[in-house]
Structure 1
Amino acid sequence: MSTPASVPTVSFRFAVVSEIDPLQQVIVHTPGAELELVTPEQRLTLLFDDILFVEEAQAEHRQMCALFEKVVGAEGAVLQITDLLRTAFASEEAREAFVEQLCRLQPEANLQAFARELAALSPDELLHFALTGQSPLPLNAFPLPNLLFTRDLAAVVNDHLIVSHPATAARARESLILRVILEHHPGFAGLRERIIYLPEGVTFEGGDLLVASPEVVLLGHSERTSLGGVAHVARALFSRTSVRHVLVVDLPKQRASMHLDTVFTFVSADECVVFPPILHQEGNVLHLMAGDTPEQFVTEMPPDLKTALERLLDRPLTFIPCGGDNPVHQKREQWTDGANFFALAPGVVVGYERNHYTFEEMRRHGYRVVTAESFLSYYAESPFVPGTEKLAIKLEGNELSRGRGGPRCMTLPLARQPLG
């Protein structure tokens, strides 16, 4: 079976040494049939607060992908996870591995009774089952509406990728999908020694990891990432990458701040958007450094995140408040992912249009605020070259935001172009 035309035939690479370097390649998932299967009765089990208007969510997501393609300006920059899985499933070995691991992952579903029939499905039929839980066989499983948030599947740090361990059963099949892609898609063949798997019993999701520099990483201890997950990720980074400092941010264990990137994101080399009630606290940051043995850490307690980051990065940082200075606006706009910006290049970021006060704050900090539609229209016939001005791009996200994840949540960057 040939590789689908929408999937690049070139090999991929892992290269992320900063949150804000120019984007080169990113994995996304434009929502499909799986989102249409979320019912009012199931929505909380599937981690959704509401029922989304799927067609509108798809249009908003496609507009976001169009931004990425315009800014990167290269074919194969935006990788759809469904295309990657379809290519992997062209291999009979991949299909068998997926079914075998799925049976072990969810023994209570009694999938083992249909293992042979599942493995015998065509690649497209198995792909449909993997995303929606529906098949021509007399069995069904839950759909995967959260696959939209590809950030949580993994995190790339320098030239390695860490595969997540989701905290909820509703997302377990997503990690399996990524594992099958990484282990069976030919584009990742040369990268498999750079993939880090975590042990059973710990939880970690990619939204809790931010790369500040090649040597400095932030980790959230959150509702979704356990202390054991933090420790294992830190050990792996110290032993296998150039990372020398891990700043652990202790977050409230609640849905509103489920990941670190829901309250903190980098938007330029010296600017971050933050949710002040959490990020201006004292005593909620732990600095980890490698000890004499892999099991040991050297630790210290910096006064706060801003102080610790400025010292480690050796430059002053501006913390831009999500929602501005008004505490009510801060809470409302953090709820709709006002702090969850995604950087396409230094000082070129995208966020949800509905977070009006956050964009006004960006304007006060020297950003030109434009809509995604006007940006794409202006550059329809010419390439976009970042670096001439700071841009904050407003993405229509009235439906996507109801899924409780912003532009950073919906992106898994594989590679960025390091500056300097």
Structure 2
Amino acid sequence: MDTIDAPSPPSTDSAEDVFGIPAEAHLLKQVIVHTPGQEMELVAPDNREELLFDDILFVGNARKEHLLMCSIFEKIVGRPETVLQISDLLLEAFKKEEARHTFVEKLCRSLPEQNLGTVENELKQFSPQDLQQFALTGESDLPIRVQPVPNLMFTRDLAAVVHDHIILSHAATVARTRESIIINVILNHHPRFAPYSDKVIELPPGVTFEGGDLLVASPDTVLIGHSERTSFGAIMTIAHELFERTPVEHVVAVDLPRRRATMHLDTVFTFASPTEVIAFPPLLESHGFGYAMHLMPSDEPGQFMTDMRPNFRDTLDDLLDRELTYIPCGGTERLHQEREQWTDGANVFAAAPGAILGYERNRRTFNLLQEHGYRVVSAESFLSYYESSPFVPGSEKVAIQLAGTELSRGRGGPRCMTLPVARHTQPTGDNA
């Protein structure tokens, strides 16, 4: 049966409501996530490495843990539609025939080695539900074999929002190429986002960028990891676009070792509040691996002023208008620092200033947070405590422990699993 495209209701939000990240750790407004589903069930021992997984997750428990995380966000933010599921957004976008055709055409062009062109016409005839299922799992009745996209749960890598613009990823691996196409189609065709397509920054061919490498340190300063997933060409392009389109005046490129443990900047450095960061100590040491290149706009069109810095921490201290407290991931001993960095101890997500979520297994990191004035509490206890009362952002510093027994085996923490699209202008809210 043919599918009839229903008209999309016009968006009633402003561009700043849809896209707006002035800085890390401000009170969250809206975040895109993906709760693991059938696509994760298709990760097997013989394809897990190709799909970038070190282990196989117990999907039922992973879903429970992820949904618990989403409940934490909803309680802290306290507004409708705080959490948007990317699978729902994709299905809603696919109600438009143009979106379905665009997805199929981009897929066939981006993955020529999979010979999808032989079934392009058949894919274009899929219903929105069938195409969504194919997009996530690769499964269909067609005579083709396509891998699932289990890494979709790491929505952070799909894009990065800076002020009222969103930068689309260019996946560094074939296993994640379809994810880049999925977010592209959503941003250009979903009725929530399509009216603001002029706010979407698409990078040129030949460069790679994943959103876990970008942090908005302040309204005028952006940090980008030069990593195994983000190329220097992408950093230069992003800097040019941000200088042209946003209030950003400084872009700091941070060099990272090209290895899985440090695949993105947010694996070694995240904000817990506007004045506190959790960092893997070698990044900050005078002879650590984090040398920095400071980029600034030039009077010459298309040119930058550059300043090479041997130490990332000194660069931040010079650029930011506030003093930062650095909380070492894993504590004071190098062995524990390395163990907890491996299990995402530095990859926390701030839903509000000083209200963060991390994996409970990183106990030494939580012990240090407690020493810095944080109340450490389990996710379940937090929800129970605030069951009948609202959480007031800024009223206390709280570090929420997510068990994450299954989620942590996917090698990504709470920040990896979240793509914030809007935060408040002021840290604890617009009227703060």
Structure 1 and Structure 2 fold alike (TM over 0.5): yes
Are residue 254 (structure 1) and residue 269 (structure 2) matched? no
Q: Which residue, out of 27, 30, 36, partners 2:32?
A: 27
Displacement of 1:98 after TM fit?
A: 0.7
Deviating more after overlay: 309-318 vs 280-289:
280-289
In structure 1, what is the equivalent of residue 97 of structure 2?
92
Are residue 269 (structure 1) and residue 239 (structure 2) matched? no
Displacement of 1:189 after TM fit?
A: 2.5
Displacement of 1:301 after TM fit?
A: 2.6
- Name the aligned partner's letter for residue 311 of structure 2: D
Are residue 115 (structure 1) and residue 120 (structure 2) matched? yes
> Matches of 1:210 and 1:51 in 2, distance apart?
30
- Name the aligned partner's letter for residue 184 of structure 1: H
In structure 2, what is the equivalent of residue 163 of structure 1?
168
Q: Which residue, out of 365, 375, 379, partners 1:368?
A: 375
- Name the aligned partner's letter for residue 307 of structure 2: E
Are residue 297 (structure 1) and residue 304 (structure 2) matched? yes
In structure 1, what is the equivalent of residue 196 of structure 2?
191
- Name the aligned partner's letter for residue 113 of structure 2: E
Q: Which residue, out of 398, 401, 408, partners 1:394?
A: 401
> Matches of 1:247 and 1:407 in 2, distance apart?
24
Displacement of 1:295 after TM fit?
A: 3.0
> Matches of 1:277 and 1:49 in 2, distance apart?
24
> Matches of 1:394 and 1:260 in 2, distance apart?
22
Displacement of 1:8 after TM fit?
A: 12
In structure 1, what is the equivalent of residue 139 of structure 2?
134
In structure 1, what is the equivalent of residue 291 of structure 2?
284
Q: Structure 1: which 4+ aligned runs deviate by more than 3 Å?
A: 1-4, 7-12
- Name the aligned partner's letter for residue 319 of structure 1: Y
Answer yes or no: is the 8 Å Cα contact 1:322–1:339 preserved in 2.
yes
Answer yes or no: is the 8 Å Cα contact 1:273–1:319 preserved in 2.
yes
Answer yes or no: is the 8 Å Cα contact 1:15–1:159 preserved in 2.
yes
In structure 2, what is the equivalent of residue 381 of structure 1?
388
Displacement of 1:10 after TM fit?
A: 5.1
Displacement of 1:303 after TM fit?
A: 4.4
Deviating more after overlay: 389-398 vs 278-287:
278-287
Answer yes or no: is the 8 Å Cα contact 1:85–1:127 preserved in 2.
yes
Displacement of 1:291 after TM fit?
A: 1.6
In structure 2, what is the equivalent of residue 348 of structure 1?
355
**Alignment gaps of 5+ in structure 2:** 427-431
In structure 1, what is the equivalent of residue 180 of structure 2?
175
Are residue 146 (structure 1) and residue 151 (structure 2) matched? yes
SS at match of 2:18: coil
Displacement of 1:306 after TM fit?
A: 2.0
Q: Which residue, out of 319, 324, 339, partners 1:332?
A: 339
- Name the aligned partner's letter for residue 243 of structure 2: F
In structure 1, what is the equivalent of residue 429 of structure 2?
none
- Name the aligned partner's letter for residue 87 of structure 2: T
- Name the aligned partner's letter for residue 346 of structure 1: P
Are residue 316 (structure 1) and residue 316 (structure 2) matched? no
In structure 1, what is the equivalent of residue 221 of structure 2?
216
> Matches of 1:293 and 1:255 in 2, distance apart?
38
> Matches of 1:81 and 1:2 in 2, distance apart?
20
Q: 1:232-268 CA deviation, whole Å, 9 max, x = no partner?
A: 1111111111100011110000000000000000111
Q: Which residue, out of 407, 410, 429, partners 1:403?
A: 410
SS at match of 1:114: helix
Instruction: State the TM-score, normalized to the length of structure 1.
Output: 0.97
SS at match of 2:357: strand
SS at match of 1:299: strand
Answer yes or no: is the 8 Å Cα contact 1:263–1:279 preserved in 2.
no
Answer yes or no: is the 8 Å Cα contact 2:10–2:191 preserved in 1.
no
- Name the aligned partner's letter for residue 309 of structure 1: L
Aligned length: 418
- Name the aligned partner's letter for residue 303 of structure 2: Q
Displacement of 1:107 after TM fit?
A: 1.0
Instruction: State the TM-score, normalized to the length of structure 2.
Output: 0.94
- Aligned-residue Cα RMSD (Å) equals 1.6
- Name the aligned partner's letter for residue 94 of structure 1: A
- Name the aligned partner's letter for residue 77 of structure 2: V
> Matches of 2:189 and 2:248 in 1, distance apart?
28
- Name the aligned partner's letter for residue 383 of structure 1: P
- Name the aligned partner's letter for residue 179 of structure 2: E
Q: Which residue, out of 401, 404, 424, partners 1:417?
A: 424
Answer yes or no: is the 8 Å Cα contact 1:235–1:294 preserved in 2.
no
Answer yes or no: is the 8 Å Cα contact 1:56–1:399 preserved in 2.
yes
SS at match of 1:397: coil
Displacement of 1:315 after TM fit?
A: 1.9
> Matches of 2:286 and 2:138 in 1, distance apart?
43
Answer yes or no: is the 8 Å Cα contact 1:208–1:260 preserved in 2.
yes
Residues 156, 206 of structure 1: alpha-carbon distance in 2 compared, 3 angstrom cutoff = same
Q: Calculate percent identity across the aligned residue pairs.
A: 60
Displacement of 1:314 after TM fit?
A: 2.1
Answer yes or no: is the 8 Å Cα contact 2:6–2:96 preserved in 1.
no
Q: Which residue, out of 82, 85, 99, partners 1:80?
A: 85
In structure 1, what is the equivalent of residue 75 of structure 2?
70
> Matches of 1:279 and 1:40 in 2, distance apart?
37
